């Protein structure tokens, strides 16, 4: 399966659409990129991934599916991940 991910870097929200065909997924991705560029929505990231299942994609690319929330463990995990990146660089 191919998954078209639309991720808002500011709000950390993600939309995901499934495609059976890579060409269809890639065409939809290009269309979304053009729409976001025209609308000056530079916080949006659009990408196509291939994975056996959505569960696999969520495991391997969890940053697209983690939501920043003020009072939850997810917010803490995001902070730890960012600290880890900062320490790594």
SS (H, E, C) the chain: CEEEEEEECCCCCEEEEEECCHHHHHHHHHHHHHHHHHCCCCCEEEEEEECCCHHHHHHHCHHHCCCCCCCCHHHHHHHHHHHHHHHHC
Tell me the per-residue pLDDT of 1-42, one tens digit each, with 9 for 90 and over: 999 999 998 988 899 999 999 999 999 999 999 999 999 999
Q: What is the mean predicted confidence (pLDDT) over 46-74?
A: 77
Residue 75 has pLDDT above 60, yes or no: no
What pTM, to 2 d.p., does this model score? 0.69
Report pLDDT for 66: 79
Report pLDDT for 67: 66
What are the boundaries of each domain within the chain?
A: 2-88
Tokens of 25: 């997924």
Higher pLDDT, 72 or 12: 12
């Amino acid at each position: 399966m191919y998954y078209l991910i639309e991720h808002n870097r500011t709000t950390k929200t993600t939309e995901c659409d499934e495609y059976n065909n890579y060409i269809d997924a890639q065409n939809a991705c290009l269309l979304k990129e053009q729409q976001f560029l025209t609308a000056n929505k530079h916080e949006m990231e659009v990408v196509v991934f291939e994975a056996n299942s959505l569960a696999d994609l969520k495991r391997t690319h969890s940053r697209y599916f983690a939501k920043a929330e003020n009072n939850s463990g997810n917010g803490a995990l995001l902070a730890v991940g960012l600290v880890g990146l900062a320490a790594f660089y």
